[in-house]
Amino acid sequence: MGFERLAKIATPGAGAARIGLGLAAVGRPAYINLGRDRDLPAERPVEVMRQRSQELLDAAYAAGVRYLDAARSYGRAEEFLAGWLRDRPDAARNVVVGSKWGYTYVADWRTDAETHEVKDHGVRTFERQRGLTDALLGDRLDLYQIHSVTPDSPALTDRELQARLAELAAEGVTVGVSTSGPRQAEAIRAALAVEVEGRPLFRTVQSTYNLLEPSAGAALAEAHAAGRAVIVKEAVANGRLTEAAERLPAALRQVAEETGATPDAVALAAVLHRPWVTVVLSGAATTAQLRSNLAAADLRLDERRLTELERLAETPETYWHHRSELPWS
């Protein structure tokens, strides 16, 4: 099962295997990461983005990355990943593949679309998107997550949906949740309590956690203690903790200078220092960014530096308000 394979490859001390590659930044032409005008060409037809994704997947695998993360709403990310797995059968046997359902991509490959994705956690959306994912990834899918669960998501109470998800789990696919928003901790704890026929349904949790938004930390530690795999997304806060940031936090810049590391590597390393983290995702759009992110696996931060970085935390409301105003580009 995906859960066991993920836990096996991402053990403490596993280096780059504790860093996964998320394909949100290269599966569609527009995203909310800062600096995309520098990271990607102005023209982003499907084949250009397909080639970029293949280059990143090759580089990630060669460096030791073994968890690959896609979603139905990431444009053609599942398609790009499926092609890479097909063309590299040796690599395909050694990676853990995750995807997500619950958002539908509706931007039609436009960067200027008014709406890029539409959220729905209903049974019919699950059935439709599960069929689409299965057509592309088939038995290569290890982990299927509900995308961006919040405390009010029907996925936490819909018994029919939960029964369908339990059937999927019985087929050998690990079922998990991802969370977003200022109430992530509440959503995580609600998900941990969901059972079907007396057995926990969700075996993995993927949440936003970074130096600016650490509010889900205690709940994620509880998930880890309860035997769930914990995947951290948005560890560089959509570019706010990288050189692409207009105003890089002074403490982050200082630690980067002291350690000789890039700000993004410091931000990722700070997450990896949490003992409850199974995998942290790189959302790199270039191979140079990926190499910089992967340096986090070997970066050690002492308690003084970690304490300084912890002072960067914003309130969840401030963080998520700022995130909601980031432009798609």
**What is the pLDDT at residue 6?**
72
- Model pTM? 0.97
Count of domains observed in the chain = 1
207-231 per-position pLDDT tens digit? 999 999 999 999 999 999 999 999 9
Query: CB under 8 Å to 264, separation ≥6 — which residues?
Result: 236, 241, 242, 243, 289, 292, 293, 296
User: How far apart are alpha carbons 201 and 194 in whole angstroms?
Assistant: 6
**pLDDT at site 1:** 57
Rg of the chain on CA atoms, in Å: 18
CATH number, domain of 126, equals 3.20.20.100
Listed as ranges, residues in the chain with pLDDT below 70 are 1-3, 7-10, 12
> Given 3-state DSSP classes, what are the helix, strand and coil percentages for the chain, each rounded to the nearest 5?
45, 15, 40
* Structural domain harbouring 140: 1-325
